[in-house]
């Protein structure tokens, strides 16, 4: 029998179950200590911040720069 569009598949069910474990009303599957370690590990380093300052071009909505933007 072909799957109906929008019908949840087994992969979708597993993803949804994992998501419910993280954001549902019950306790999370991730401990507080593990969450804090993950937060600390994902913080940018000084090198990451320096690279972003050097390479990141910020363009604000409805604003055009006076000079041509660098091409990548």
Express each pLDDT in 27-54 by its tens digit: 667 788 888 888 888 899 999 999 999 9
Angle at 17 between CA 15 and CA 19, to 5 degrees: 70
Show Cβ contacts of residue 21 under 8 Å, excluding neighbours closer than 6 positions: 28, 29
Range name among 1-5, 39-43, 59-63 with the lowest pLDDT average: 1-5
């Amino acid at each position: 029998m072909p799957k109906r569009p929008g019908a949840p598949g087994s992969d979708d069910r597993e993803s949804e179950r994992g998501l419910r474990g993280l954001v549902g009303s019950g306790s999370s599957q991730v401990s507080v200590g593990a969450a804090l370690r993950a937060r600390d590990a994902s913080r940018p380093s000084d090198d990451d911040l320096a690279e972003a300052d050097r390479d990141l071009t910020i363009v604000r909505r409805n604003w055009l720069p006076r000079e041509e933007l660098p091409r990548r």
